[in-house]
Structures are given as structure tokens and as C-alpha cells.
A and B are shown apart, each in its own frame.
Chain A
Amino acid sequence: MDDKKQERKLKIRNIKNGISIDHITAGKAPEVLKILGIDRGFTDSVTLAMNVKSSKMRKKDIVKVENKDLDVNEINKISVIAPQATINWIHDYQVVKKEKVKLPDELIGIVKCPNPSCITNKEREPVKSIFLVKNTNPVVLVCKYCERETESLY
């Protein structure tokens, strides 16, 4: 029994190579997985913890993914739904880099405008969505084109 407990603990705490995303807004871990493109077909080990007690945020989610890297686009997307998240890059069980996500002033081509009448949602029109970040806590975005404000994008 003790061994089993130990093993479970280990699995949550440590990955050999990959990324660990901490301080995710409570309840948003599944959306983070979506951003990372993790679905049924994903074969590497993924650990997810939701509503974990946190001294800083009261409650938080954590996601750890083995053998995974993150690009700027993914980090920006995460910053929209979890503005307080921190990302740890892990190599050989060691944290080699740590970064707090930062919501950029402009989100270009990474979120879809929720307004169906927006020109960015018209098929064939060659235009990327651009959102201006109006507020960071809570996150409020304004579509550069249809000018609608939006608070939840996922």
C-alpha cells in the first residue's frame, strides 16, 4: 500500500523530460490540454491535477507532459485562459528553464473571434484574427475588426 502511494506521488511530481505547467487557473487544465493538442491519440505520459490547494491562488490546476516542448503561440494561448500560469521546462528531472506566461498586448491569429458576423470568420477572406488585450485580470479582449469585447474565448 505504501509503495503504491509512493509511486503515485512520484508520477505526479516528476517527469524526466518535458514541461510542467503550474498555477493554471482552477478548472482550466482541460483547456490547456486542448491548446497543447493533447487528445486520445497522444502517446506520452500526461499528468493532470485539478483544484489543488495553492497558497498563492487558493486553488489551481497543474499539467505535466512528458517529451513535449512549447512554442510561443501555445504559450500565448495559455496566457489568455490562465494568466498566472508558470511553465517549467524539465530535462533529466531538473528544471532547466522557468517562465511565467505573459499576456501579449496583441494576439495575432491565435484565437478565433466568437462573433459569427465578424469579417475574420468569413470564409476565403484573407485576414488573421487580431485581438487587443484591454484588461488582464479578468482577461478582456477586443477584436480589432468587429470591435466586440469578449471575456471567455475557449
Chain B
Amino acid sequence: MSLKHWNKKHIISIRDFSRDEIDFVLKKSALMEDKLSSSKPVKLMKGRILANLFFEPSTRTRMSFETAMKRLGGKTVGFSVAETTSEAKGETITDTVRVVEGYADVIVLRHPAEGAARVASENIKIPLINGGDGANQHPTQTLLDLYTIQKEYKKIDGLSIAMVGDLKYGRTVHSLANALESYNVKLTFISPRELKMPKRMVNRLRDKNIEVKETTKLNIGNADVIYATRIQRERFPDLQEFERVKEAYVLDEIILNKLKDDAIIMHPLPRVSEISPEIDETRHARYFQQSRNGVPVRMALLCLVCGVDF
């Protein structure tokens, strides 16, 4: 895949990615991680500026991109909504990015309105990376999730992946399922009845010949990857029901002897109580590493869209 293919490309939605493109990003991310772990500083983006435009706060995503850019020798500018004045709030996204286009070489945009990143990208010539648009997309999260799996098993095809928790509203699990569509995987969706994976998503996966199992029981004995998500209180009108449901999907030491030996547990973080701290020190825990993996993945993407070869 040529460098030209990626130069000035906007990263808006995981649905825009072909399997080849995903595989290429994962390969480049591994290369970047090698560079990162060598003692030589990486200067690939020296002299370039990343604008972080956060119309809603997301400390982790913002810090991850900032770290990525700085590790590349570049600089960052930007704002997060907590710090913004009314001017940034009243202005349209279109206007904001057109102004920022004059300052920076690449933009990361986070915005609560769904589709904001795509609209913004249509109005500028510098590349834009979607850092989350409401309940819609967060493509770099999905890529780092895939990278974590790939890094662990040196493959994605052939794996059995269980997603646990809120599968109805969870953006990360939807995007991950979308991306896994083009891989040969077995999926198990584990959730309370109220929070099942949307029917159209399940149908779509089955149309692509992916084996999908849906269950309310925490059956994770066959899974190579367990992807846990948070169940939010707001989803339940009845508090008692919420407590009952939440308890049923907690990953704690009781589940440890049911797991495959080399199974890994992932989580987009922040977690609340769905993974108990005693899991943290086990060989299964990958969620902190997963979060760290965001840095090389974002470094690779920043270079690719800025036309920087490595």
C-alpha cells in the first residue's frame, strides 16, 4: 500500500476501512512501536503541528494523541471544551476547522454531534482524525483494540472473541464488531437481555459468514479475547435491576479458573466495577497495555496521513 494512498487521508470511520487498510495500519503500528522502544528519539514529525479540537472533554484520548505527536517530535495546539470561551461554542465546526487549517498540519476532532468529523473533513484540505463523534465512531480506539489483539496472537483470523456488557449502546463494541466483519472470527455477545447487540448488526455479521452466539450467561471458557464494557446506570429505570445485572457480568477471581490459559481481557477504560482489581495482576489483564497501545497506533496514523514515510 503506497504512501500516497494515505497522504492527506481523513480518518473518520472504521467503516471506511478495507481489511487491507486495517492490516496495513496494524503493521505500521508495530513498526512504530519498535521505533518507540529503541533508545533513539523519533523525529518523524519534527516541525509539524497537531491541533487537538475537543468540543467535549476526553482526557485520555486527548493525552494519547498529544503523547503520540510529542513522541514524534511534533508540537500540539488546541482546546478542550472546559477551557473554551463562548466563541468556540457558538461557532460552527465548519468555521472552526477552516480557521485551524491555517495553523496546523493535522487535526484531531472530538465532538458530541454524530457526523461532526465527516462534515469538518469535507471543508478542509489538511487531514483530520476523528477522536470520537458522539455515539457514532471512534476509529483510533477500534484500531488500537485490533492492534492489541494482533500483537498478542500475531493474528486475528481464527480467534474467538467475546464481548461482554452493554452491547446495545456501546460504541466501542459496535465499531469493533464492524471491523471484525472482514476477519474470520467467532463472536460471542454476552449481555443482559435489555442491552443486546442490535439485531441489524448481528444479521450483518451473519451475512458475512461470521459465527455469532448471543447469550445472557457469562460463558467465556472458549474465548481467546474477552472484551468487557461498562454497564451504565442510566440504561436502567430500576436501580435494583441495574445492581442485579451489573453483578452478573463482573469479571473477578471466580472466573479465572474458567478462562483459557492464554485468554486476554480487554476494556476501553475507564472501568468502574466490571473488572475487579484482583484481575489486574494476572496474566490475562491487557487493558492498561491496550490503552498504551493507543500511542504507537496514533503515531503511525499521524505519520501516514501527513505523508511521512517510516
Residues in A lying within 8 Å of B, measured CB to CB: 115, 117-120, 122, 124-127, 143-149
Give, as a whole number of angstroms, the nearest-CB distance from A123 to chain B.
Answer: 9
Contacting pair B135 A117 (CB below 8 A):
yes
Kindly report which residue of chain B lies nearest to residue A126, judged by CB atoms.
B94
Contacting pair B94 A145 (CB below 8 A):
no
Contacting pair B136 A147 (CB below 8 A):
yes
B119 at the interface (CB under 8 A from A): yes
Contacting pair A143 B115 (CB below 8 A):
yes
Please give 9 more A-B residue pairs, beta carbons under 8 A apart, in addition to A144-B115, A147-B114. Answer: A117-B112, A117-B114, A119-B115, A119-B133, A120-B115, A122-B92, A143-B115, A144-B118, A148-B114
Note all chain B residues with C-beta closer than 8 A to A127: 94, 119, 122
B113 at the interface (CB under 8 A from A): yes
Interface size on B, residues (CB 8 A): 20
Contacting pair B93 A125 (CB below 8 A):
yes
Give, as a whole number of angstroms, the nearest-CB distance from B134 to chain A.
Answer: 5
Note all chain B residues with C-beta closer than 8 A to A125: 92-94, 113, 119
A-B contacts, 14 of them at CB < 8 A, read A117-B112, A117-B135, A119-B115, A119-B118, A120-B115, A120-B119, A124-B92, A127-B122, A144-B115, A145-B114, A145-B118, A145-B119, A146-B134, A149-B200
Contact digits for B191-202, partner A, Cβ 8 Å, 1 yes 0 no: 000000000100
How many residue pairs at the A-B interface have CB separations less than 8 Å? Answer: 53
CA distance A124 to B94 in the complex (A): 10
Residues in B lying within 8 Å of A, measured CB to CB: 13, 15, 92-94, 111-116, 118-119, 122, 133-137, 200
Note all chain B residues with C-beta closer than 8 A to A120: 115, 119
Contacting pair A117 B134 (CB below 8 A):
yes
The 5 closest A-B pairs by CB, nearest first: A145-B115, A146-B114, A119-B115, A119-B113, A146-B115
CA distance A143 to B13 in the complex (A): 13
CA distance A122 to B134 in the complex (A): 13
CA distance A106 to B116 in the complex (A): 20
Contacting pair A117 B113 (CB below 8 A):
yes
Kindly report which residue of chain A lies nearest to residue B113, judged by CB atoms.
A119
Kindly report which residue of chain B lies nearest to residue A146, judged by CB atoms.
B114
CA distance A143 to B135 in the complex (A): 14
Note all chain B residues with C-beta closer than 8 A to A124: 92
Contacting pair A119 B119 (CB below 8 A):
yes
Note all chain A residues with C-beta closer than 8 A to B118: 119, 144-145
Please pick, from B94, B114, B137, B200, the residue contacting A118 in the complex, using a CB distance under 8 A: B114
* A146-B136, A147-B137 known; A118+B92 contact, CB < 8 A: no
Note all chain A residues with C-beta closer than 8 A to B94: 125-127
A127, A144, A149: most-surrounded residue (chain B CB, <10 A): A127
Kindly report which residue of chain A lies nearest to residue B201, judged by CB atoms.
A149
Note all chain B residues with C-beta closer than 8 A to A118: 113-115
Kindly report which residue of chain A lies nearest to residue B92, judged by CB atoms.
A125
CA distance A143 to B119 in the complex (A): 12
Give, as a whole number of angstroms, the nearest-CB distance from B113 to chain A.
Answer: 4
CA distance A117 to B132 in the complex (A): 13
Kindly report which residue of chain B lies nearest to residue A149, judged by CB atoms.
B200
Kindly report which residue of chain B lies nearest to residue A122, judged by CB atoms.
B113
CA distance A126 to B133 in the complex (A): 17
Give, as a whole number of angstroms, the nearest-CB distance from A154 to chain B.
Answer: 20
CA distance A147 to B178 in the complex (A): 12
Contacting pair B15 A119 (CB below 8 A):
no
* A124-B92, A127-B119, A146-B136 known; A119+B114 contact, CB < 8 A: yes
